[in-house]
Structure formats: C-alpha cells, structure tokens
Structure 1
Amino acid sequence: VAEVSLELLGRARELASELDTVVGAVLVGSEVSPLVQSLIAHGADRVYMADDPALRDYLAQPYARVPSRLIEQHRPEIVLYGATTTGRDLAPRVASTLRTGLTADCTDLRIGPHQTKERNYERLLYQIRPAFGGNIIATIISPDHRPQMATVREGVFRLPAPDPGRDGQVFLVPVDLPPEDYCVQVVRRSLEEKGVDLKGASIIVAGGAGVGSREGFALIRELADTLGGVVGASRAAVDAGWIGHE
C-alpha cells in the first residue's frame, strides 16, 4: 500500500468524524488480502476488496471500472486518491465515468459551507491547492455533483499511527468485467532501483544554482555522507545537468 494512501485514510477519518459517517477503502489487485488489516488499522471502517489474478498489474480500464461501480452502488460523498502516477491516471477516468468534478494535487482538505444567491450548501469538501504557479491558493468546491473527488500529494497529511486493535468490515467485490476492459496487456515489467527518499530523510543537504558545477555537488555529497543525510537539489541544478533526477 502506498504511504500516501495511508495518509489519506488518516485525513479521511478526521473528515468522516465531522460528517458523522464512515470511511471506506477500495483494494484492487491480486492476492491483496494481507493488506486489508493495514487499511483498517490506519482508519478504514470498511474495505471493499476486488481480488483477482487478472488484476495483478495496473490496467487503466479494469482498475477504473471497479471503483466506478462501487461508487454508483454506495454513493459516497467524497472520494480521495493519492496523487501518484497511478492515481493521476485513475482518478480522471473514474470522474469522467461518473460525470463529476475532480481537483488535482490538493494540499489541504476541509469541510465547510458555501452560499449563493439561490441556495445555501452545507458539508462541502473544500479542495485546496496552489494555482498560477503557486502564487495563489485556490479553494475549489463541487456543490452540485457527487462524489466530490480530489487527488492529494504525498506527505501533505500526517501518517497516522496504526491501531492494530481497530475492527472493520471486509466486503468481497466480484470481478466480472467485460473482455474489452482487458484490451491492453502487460508484456514486460521493468523495476527501477528506488532513488533518494527525500520525504523520509531526517537530514537533507541541498544545492542549487550557486553550487556552480557537477564538481561542486561532490562537496554536497561529501557533507551529506558525513552527516548521515541525503542529497537534494533545486530544479535549476538538475536542469543544468549537475545532478540527476533521482
């Protein structure tokens, strides 16, 4: 389970308390039952599990079909996705299927009212994100369409401490998808070595354009090694080719 998904469960738990409702999590894949308890421990009250060998690899159409059906059946007020590569591909497909709105890369989520000349709205999700190159913070709402949907960047919300004693319900979701959903097949998988984990690092030694050259970053690396930290860089330094994207 991606860490951002667990972070979102923690925030969903807080939002659900304000709305006096429950938190559900959708788990899709093959042989994923060992992951259920982690979702419950981090805040899910209900886990909807679609477990099938055909779902071993992420494929856009079947992975979008499963949550779309569940949303149509259970009609949640809010649906959240991690703003990962997969989440950014999946969320707009589900939103398009359901003909609802989607706010991408949110940095905060809150519950509040909204008033127009015609109507007063309650229990709306404030979807907060940077706009215009980060020069303003926009608050976006979806007053007339459900569910309210947003993707959220990793590290925005605190990772909740798991509670192994939490109880939750598990619902098995039948995977009876049409053959045309499997029109794309994975023919080869290539795993890349994980790069530097800046989010999880306690010490980061970073350099920017002022370092001046690739050789200058050797000093940055030496200092990071001495301090037991990792190396970071500005976009300008990366674009100049002084350090890699990893």
Structure 2
Amino acid sequence: MTDSLVLLDHTADGTLRAPVRELVTLARGLGGAIHGVWAADGAEPDAETLADLGALGVSRVHRLTADADLHLSAVLAEALASLLDATGAGALLVTSTFENKEVAARLAVLTGAGVVTDADGLVVEDGRLVASKTVFAGTWNTRCAITTPLAVVTFKANSVAVSPAESGGVPDVVDHAVAASAAARRVSLVERTERPASGRPDLGSAHVVVAGGRGTEGDFTLVEELADVLGGAVGATRVATDEGWIGHDAQIGQTGVTISPRLYIGVGVSGAVHHRGGMQASGTIVAINSDPDAPIFEIADFGIVGDLNEVLPQLTAALRAQQG
C-alpha cells in the first residue's frame, strides 16, 4: 500500500480535464490514500468538482501555491517535490502531456524518482509499483518495475475505465505554499495565449479521433463533419500540417501527439511509420483510403477502399440518421 498524489490538470476556467478521473481510478488500486494536487493558477476547484473527486476516492486536495508562476515546469517540479516530501506519498500520477513529461523529468532530477512515461496501467507487485506501457509504435507490450522509493508515472488518456469508489465524501482542501529557488526563476513566462475553443475534445484525450492525411488534398471539411457527428477530435498527419492545411497542434505521430482513443478513423492516411507510432495503440482502427496497398490497412481493424469524397458523406449521413 502506498499513498499517491494525483496532479489535477484543469482548464483556465477550473474545469477538470477528463483523463484525471482515470488517474484517480488507477490510484485506488495502489491501496493507500489518494491526495489531489491543484495548482492554484487563477482557477479554483468548485463544490461540484470537489464532490466529483470525493466520489472517485480522493480524500484530500492540496491547493498548491508558489511565489513564482506554476505554469513553469521548473517551479511546478519544485512545488511537487515539496508536497511529496510533506505527505510522504510514494507515487505521483500525472497525465501524459508534453508539459507534464517535462515536469516529471525535472522531478526525477530533484528527487531521484523512477519515471515511466506514457503508461497505460499500474499495479503493486511484491511491494513494488509495476507500470505497463506499449513501445515500438505500439507493437510491444512491456511491464516496468519501479525500484526507487518514489515513482512518477505519466499516463496516456483512455487507459482505464473510470469507476466510482465504494465510499467517498467531499475531500478536505488544504493550502501548501512553496518558495521557488533562484534556479527555477531563471526562466520567466512572458505571455500565455489560450488556444481558440473549437468545441471539440482535446486531441490527446479524445475517445474518438478522425485524422486526415494527404488524401484530403487540403480540404478537412468532411473530416471535421464526421468528427463532429461522432463527438470526436480532429487530427492529421505530418504532411497535412507541413502543407499548412491544418495547425501543427493536430499532428499525430512520433514528432506530434501520441493518442490512444477508443476509435481512430484515418481518412486519406497512408500509414507511414512515424504516424503509426502515434496512433497504433488505438482501441479500434478504421482506415479509409483509395489505395488498397496503403500500409494503414496492415494495422486496421476495418478498412474501406474508396474515394473519401464518396465514402465520408454517406458515412456521416448514416450516423446522423441513427442519431435521429
């Protein structure tokens, strides 16, 4: 049994990000108390959020404050190290984002913690934490035993099904203030620009992703329509982002976002190895391509050989009809 800290990632308006609930569900399997960590960056957890966390099994929420900007990875890493020391927790669970992976690396340097990134499971075996993850573009399943006293694990979204705790209540909220070191202050945050809201879920945590590739020839209209009917996110291959057809934040692959949705639909996507490395862990893979020899069909659960301009309108219309 080990107490664990869960970093409560949230939006600028204080909305809890969906993958956090998965982390709390995973943390319950470790057997100890679950502490939430709320970085107080201008947004505060409301009563509904606290009740939600309590129902999942969080017993205490630590409201983390610092005399420097907590959006800076060095500052947040120092603050988390201080909180880990104060609580005696043996594990820190965070979502697998670019920012959180940087924090995890800094935290490892500060504390000597063992770090596993992009995990999809965590259990206790023989008194040690063992994380599971896929590697080599999703072709190998591995299990990583963490032998250090402190474990820091980043998790891919959609790794586990969220479930409530058998019993729970509203967690206590306590303040934990830290002073950032001179080293952490060497970098200053000049400006933050919020990404315009699209109304679609975040690409990294979406349950459904519709991705467009070279076959779209730059027109993502049909891709976006299908994604909206399914309530999914829109992604793209590197060539689509390099051509300027869609923003680079939509790129899926080894040099972009790594995703593991329950449903991935590739539209006009050839299936190059660098793209497959970012989506091959998806639950169900559907490929739509006019080339029957496209590599994407080698890993697809379902494949449609056809012109996307004919297939997608029919598919979208059929889904709309089903939804009434």
- TM-score band (shorter)? 0.7 to 0.9
Residue in structure 1 matched with residue 33 of structure 2 by the alignment: 22
Q: Does 1:213 align with 2:217?
A: yes
Residue in structure 2 matched with residue 110 of structure 1 by the alignment: 123
Letter in 1 for 2:240: V
Output aligned runs, 1:3-42, within 5 Å. Answer: 3-16=18-31, 21-34=32-45, 37=50, 38-42=52-56
Residue in structure 2 matched with residue 172 of structure 1 by the alignment: 175
Given that residues 108 and 114 in structure 2 are in contact (C-alpha distance below 8 angstroms), is that contact kept between their aligned partners in structure 1? yes
**How far apart in 2 are the matches of 1:180 and 1:240?**
36
Cα displacement (A) at 1:164: 11
Q: Decide which of 34, 48, 68 is 2:62's aligned counterpart.
A: 48
Given that residues 57 and 186 in structure 1 are in contact (C-alpha distance below 8 angstroms), is that contact kept between their aligned partners in structure 2? no
Q: Does 1:85 align with 2:98?
A: yes
Given that residues 39 and 70 in structure 2 are in contact (C-alpha distance below 8 angstroms), is that contact kept between their aligned partners in structure 1? no
**How far apart in 1 are the matches of 2:232 and 2:19?**
21
Residue identity (%): 20
Letter in 1 for 2:237: R
Letter in 1 for 2:186: C
Q: Secondary structure at the match of 1:127?
A: strand
Q: Decide which of 134, 155, 159 is 2:158's aligned counterpart.
A: 155
Cα displacement (A) at 1:148: 1.9
**How far apart in 1 are the matches of 2:185 and 2:113?**
25
Given that residues 62 and 174 in structure 2 are in contact (C-alpha distance below 8 angstroms), is that contact kept between their aligned partners in structure 1? yes
**How far apart in 1 are the matches of 2:109 and 2:165?**
34
**How far apart in 1 are the matches of 2:72 and 2:164?**
31
Residue in structure 2 matched with residue 138 of structure 1 by the alignment: 142
Given that residues 206 and 232 in structure 2 are in contact (C-alpha distance below 8 angstroms), is that contact kept between their aligned partners in structure 1? no
Unpaired runs of 5+ in structure 2? 1-9, 11-16, 251-324
State the TM-score, normalized to the length of structure 1.
Answer: 0.74
State the TM-score, normalized to the length of structure 2.
Answer: 0.59
**How far apart in 2 are the matches of 1:242 and 1:80?**
35
Q: Deviations over 1:78-111 (max 9, x none)?
A: 2211111221111111111111210111122222
**How far apart in 1 are the matches of 2:227 and 2:171?**
44
Letter in 1 for 2:72: L
Residue in structure 2 matched with residue 181 of structure 1 by the alignment: 184
Count of residue pairs the alignment pairs up: 227
RMSD over equivalenced CA pairs, Å = 3.3
Q: Deviations over 1:50-80 (max 9, x none)?
A: 235x455512222111111222333322221
**How far apart in 1 are the matches of 2:170 and 2:39?**
20
Cα displacement (A) at 1:234: 5.5
**How far apart in 2 are the matches of 1:170 and 1:93?**
26
Q: Higher RCO, 1 or 2 (CA under 8 Å, sep at least 6)?
A: 1
Letter in 2 for 1:34: P
Cα displacement (A) at 1:166: 1.1
**How far apart in 2 are the matches of 1:228 and 1:58?**
33
Given that residues 68 and 185 in structure 2 are in contact (C-alpha distance below 8 angstroms), is that contact kept between their aligned partners in structure 1? no
Residue in structure 2 matched with residue 238 of structure 1 by the alignment: 240
Q: Does 1:73 align with 2:77?
A: no
Q: Secondary structure at the match of 2:30?
A: helix
**How far apart in 2 are the matches of 1:224 and 1:23?**
35
- Going from structure 1 to structure 2, the CA distance change for 1:28 and 1:9 (only over 3 Å counts) comes to same
**How far apart in 1 are the matches of 2:233 and 2:63?**
39
